[in-house]
Amino acid sequence: MSHHTHHNHQDAYAHVVSHLKEKGIRITETRKAVIRYLIDSLDHPSAEMIYKDLRPSYPSMSLATVYNNLKVLVEEGFVTELKRNNDTTTYYDFMGHDHLNVICERCGKITDLIAENMPSLEAQVQAQTGYQITKELLTIYGVCPACQSA
C-alpha cells in the first residue's frame, strides 16, 4: 500500500482526493468532510459519531451517506474497519496499514501503538497455509492505566 506514508494531514488529504479523482470517484462536499474528519481524528470513530459531529456543519447530510463514504474509503484502502467484542458497532481507522491496537477490556478505549519492531509472520504463515498475505493486525487486550486505578 504505497499511499500510506504522509508527513501531515494536508498531504494525506490531497493524496486521497487525487486517488479518488483518478478512479473517477466524485469529490462531493460530504465526501470531503468525511475524509477530513477521519484524517483529523485521533481515535477511531463510528459512523454514528462522524454523523453527529458533522451534522452541525452539514445539516442535510444523512447517516446513510456517511456509510456510503466509509464504504468507498474502505474499498479504496484508505480506511480500516475495527470491531470490538460485546459491541456491534464498527469503528473506522484512517490509514489502514499494519499496526497494533491495544484495547482496554474495561472502558473500551482503543489505543494505537507504533510497534518498534512488529515481527512479521508473513513468510511463515504463507508457507504453512498457502495464503497470499495482504495485511497483519495485532490486537492486544488489557486494562488501561486509568481502569487499573479505579
Partner DNA sequence: TTGCTTGCAAAAGGTTTGCATTAAG
Partner DNA sequence: CTTAATGCAAACCTTTTGCAAGCAA
Q: Where does this chain bind DNA (CB under 7 A)? A: 21, 24-31, 46-48, 58, 60-65, 67-69, 71-72, 86, 88-90
Cell of 141: 487486550
**Would you say 17 or 136 has its CB closer to a copy of itself?**
136
Nearest to 119 by CA among 98, 101, 133: 98
Instruction: Collapse the DSSP code of 128 into the 3-class scheme (helix H, G, I; strand E, B; otherwise coil) and give the result.
Output: helix
Cell triple for residue 25? 470517484
8: Cβ contacts below 8 Å, ≥ 6 apart: none
**Among DNA, a copy of itself, none, residue 140 binds (CB under 5-8 Å by kind):** a copy of itself
Residues engaged in binding a copy of itself (CB under 8 A): 74, 81, 83-86, 88, 90, 100, 102, 104-105, 111, 113, 115-116, 118-119, 121-122, 124-126, 128-145, 148
Annotated binding site for Zn(2+), which residues?
104, 107, 144, 147
